Amino acid sequence: MMLKNKILVSAFVLGISASGFSDKAIAEDLSTVYQMAITGNPNISLAEEQVSEGVARQTNAFMGYLPEVSATFDREWVKQRIDRSDNTVFALGKGNFDNRRRTFQLQQHIFNFETIMNIVSSDMGRMRLKESLETAKQDVGYQAIEAYLSTLAAADDARLARIEHASMAERQVDVSARQKQGLATSYEADLVEARLAETDARVVATRTSYQRSFAQLQRRVGNLPASLATLARDVALPKLDDINVDDWLDAALKTSPRVRAMDYSIDERRAALAADVGQAMPTFDFIFTDTRLDSGGSLFGGGSLTHEGVAMLRLNVPLFNPGGRGYEALETRSQVDQARYQRAIYLRELRETVSGTITELVNGPDRIKALVKGVQTHRRIVDAVKIKFDAGQSTVLDVLDEDEDLFAMERQALAAIYSHLLNYALIHQVTGTLGQEQVTSINQLLDPTLPMITAGTDFSQYGHDTMPISVQ
């Protein structure tokens, strides 16, 4: 029974926390960490600034169709000299004259296809950046959930390694005592010592992995959470109401901000292509000029003060190399095709992700239950092998192998549970529906009243009072 109690301590699959993890306190649950991650996140802030840039670009595009108004002020100092003239009116000699000119001009586009399409392109660009902002929020939210659950998984793996090490240390004590009584050989003692060394290495490796997970969580969140709540003892795995892959793909095309951003990107480049084509199209403008000239005179005649207003309609027909920029439409046409291909590539990846994720979500609970049942069966096998070993009917290698199988299956069950939760978050992230509702669904599986984990948790203090695995 002593061995049974030692093995049962490893039954924390589902992330069951036990006393000795740390002192009880108010732990930060997933909802709190999720809000920490999306508040003031630089990725989201960067996307917001890009949206502001898109709004400014659209404003500038609209400004392209507003009147162009200019005022010009000229002042000339003219020095003239006439050395010879056949005109008797002109005076020979030198003279200095002061001329002043003020020109006011207004030019209004009546028809300019390039400017119109630039406005359309900028509007599509603004919408693309808005969808990119929503994509950034979805990505940051999922990364926070992933980092949180990965940290819990790493903590449970580290605890399991400690439990396995403690169990193996007990085996070594038992075999050493039997060796002194002549009931065990040096070969058996070496086997136990080798397995104990393996568990020593595993303890160090899992501890390192746990510390890396906490560091990754800090990077994703921006701040290091003081503590994390762990999974409750009884967990009801979240399920999907709809498991049809085509339905999720149809939803993704409508709700995924990443897909919508790609759609707007295609429209934006198509409008840019139309604007480039518009460079070679005729333009029709209205131009009004008001000029006031105060001439100080010249050796050829007297000074004058004139005021002239001119209204003009201008039709400009580009014939070659419009704007001196070549034919940019040839380049932009390739960009349109690139945007279309990028969308097609992503849709293939999306179908693969959605199909694989839903398959795992559908089959995951059955696999977890099978693993949990296997763990319970392996516990009974370990107890039976131990009894046979005490009776001399099995070897210590049999006991060690069964122990190893038990811990391996517990690790598989642990990984399957966290993988199921991550898949639940992933299917909503790729379809653009990840939000507080999904966070709450996962968060309700945590139990803040259980001992929590911190960055400096000492897993060697893990207690042996735990409950059997229970999956609803």
What is the pLDDT, as a whole number, of residue 464? Answer: 35
pLDDT in tens, 159-207: 888 888 888 888 888 888 888 887 778 888 888 889 889 999 999 999 9
What is the pLDDT, as a whole number, of residue 130? Answer: 96
The answer to whether residue 239 scores a pLDDT higher than 90 is no
Least confident of 4-13, 84-93, 280-289, 302-311: 4-13
| 168's tokens | 């193996």
Averaged pLDDT, 106-113: 93
Higher per-residue confidence, 219 vs 326:
219
What is the pLDDT, as a whole number, of residue 352? Answer: 94
Least confident of 30-44, 51-65, 86-100, 125-139: 86-100
From residue 206, give the alpha-carbon distance in Å to each of 183, 203, 235, 281, 306: 35, 5, 24, 68, 91
The answer to whether residue 360 scores a pLDDT higher than 70 is yes
Percentage above 90 pLDDT, the chain: 46
Higher per-residue confidence, 3 vs 421:
421
| 456's tokens | 């400096």
How far apart CA 357 and CA 363 sit, in angstroms, is 10
Averaged pLDDT, 8-34: 51
Q: Are strands 230-231 and 234-235 parallel, antiparallel or unpaired?
A: unpaired
Residue 469 pLDDT grade (very low, low, confident, very high; cuts 50, 70, 90): very low
pTM of the model as a whole: 0.81
Least confident of 104-118, 170-184, 272-286, 329-343: 170-184
Least confident of 6-15, 105-114, 160-169, 436-445: 6-15
Higher per-residue confidence, 28 vs 148:
148
The answer to whether residue 304 scores a pLDDT higher than 80 is yes
The answer to whether residue 8 scores a pLDDT higher than 50 is no
* DSSP-assigned letter for residue 96: E
Averaged pLDDT, 434-461: 83
What is the pLDDT, as a whole number, of residue 105? Answer: 95
The answer to whether residue 470 scores a pLDDT higher than 60 is no
Instruction: Strands of 114-162 (E only): list them.
Output: none
pLDDT in tens, 331-345: 899 999 999 999 999
| 250's tokens | 């149809």
User: What's the whole-number average pLDDT of the chain?
Assistant: 85
Please list, residue by residue across 4-34, b when 16 or more beta carbons sit within 10 angstroms of its beta carbon and e when fewer do.
eebbbbbbbbbbbbbebbbeeeebbbbbbbb
pLDDT in tens, 377-406: 888 898 888 888 777 778 888 888 888 888
Residue 80 pLDDT grade (very low, low, confident, very high; cuts 50, 70, 90): confident
Q: Is residue 299 exposed (0-12), middle (13-18) or buried (19+ Cβ within 10 Å)?
A: middle
Q: Is residue 220 exposed (0-12), middle (13-18) or buried (19+ Cβ within 10 Å)?
A: buried
| 447's tokens | 């139990």
Averaged pLDDT, 89-111: 86
Higher per-residue confidence, 292 vs 87:
292
Least confident of 55-64, 274-283, 402-411, 447-456: 447-456
How far apart CA 200 and CA 80 sit, in angstroms, is 102
Residue 22 pLDDT grade (very low, low, confident, very high; cuts 50, 70, 90): very low
What is the pLDDT, as a whole number, of residue 250? Answer: 92
